[in-house]
Each structure stands twice: as C-alpha cells, then as structure tokens.
C-alpha cells in the first residue's frame, strides 16, 4: 500500500511540474521551413540528441513551433528577439546610488 501511494505521489508531482501554463513539448523530432505568421513571444535552441533534431523552438501564441535554424528568416528573428531581451534586461537594471 505504501509503495502504491509513493508511486502515485511521484506521478502527480511530475504531472504538476509539466503543467506550467505552456504547452509542453518534449523535443522537436522534425522542423518546419515555413515562416511563422502568428506572434512569436520567445525562443530557445535545441541541439540534436536523437530522436530530437537540431532546431529553434519558437514560443508563439499558438504554442511551441519547431523551425530550421539555417533559414534566413529564423536567424533574423532570433537576432531580433535577442536584441529585445538585452534591451529589456538593461531597462530592468536598477542603479543604486551610494
């Protein structure tokens, strides 16, 4: 009985950790070459670790989308998002005077 309760507790904690408001995506097994037309809110890189492939995972208003990192529009969007992240980071830095 105790082992069953422990197993249920572990399963429930994993389920809770995976439901953080985003659509969970284990990994990209394929990538798209189509330009994303919905708003992009962020991104992350994924390296190849089979069955996962090398990809740029864009967070969009419709959920995560896997894109081919070698495409010009993908590289430009990543640069744009990185620049925006740097600007937001600089704007949120508070300088304290002595």
In whole angstroms, give the CA distance from residue 89 to residue 29.
32
Stated pTM of the model: 0.66
pLDDT for res 90: 82
Q: How far apart (Å, rounded) are the C-alpha atoms in residues 90 and 23?
A: 29
Q: What is the pLDDT of residues 43-91, one digit of tens each?
A: 999 999 999 999 999 999 999 999 999 999 999 999 999 999 888 888 8
Query: For the chain, percent helix, then strand, then coil, each to nearest 5?
Result: 40, 20, 40
The residue range of the domain holding 65 is: 25-82
- How many helical (H) and strand (E) elements, i.e. helices and strands, does the chain have? 2, 3
CATH of the domain at 68: 2.40.50.40
Is 98 among the domain residues? Answer: no
Evaluate if residue 98 carries a pLDDT over 70: no
| 87 within a domain of the structure (yes/no) | no
Total domains in the chain come to 1
pLDDT digits (tens, 9 = 90+) for 5-56: 444 444 444 343 333 444 455 799 999 999 999 999 999 999 999 999 999 9
Residue 48 lies in a domain: yes
Burial of 50 (0-12, 13-18, 19+ CB in 10 A): exposed
- The answer to whether position 12 is within a domain reads no
């Amino acid at each position: 009985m105790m082992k069953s309760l422990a197993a249920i507790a572990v399963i429930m904690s994993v389920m809770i950790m995976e439901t953080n408001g985003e659509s969970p995506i284990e990994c990209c097994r394929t990538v798209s070459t189509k330009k994303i037309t919905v708003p992009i809110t962020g991104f992350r890189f994924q390296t190849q670790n089979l069955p996962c492939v090398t990809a740029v995972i864009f967070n969009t208003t419709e959920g995560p989308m896997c894109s081919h990192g070698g495409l010009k529009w993908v590289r430009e969007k990543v640069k744009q998002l990185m620049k925006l992240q740097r600007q937001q980071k600089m704007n949120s830095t508070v300088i304290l005077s002595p």
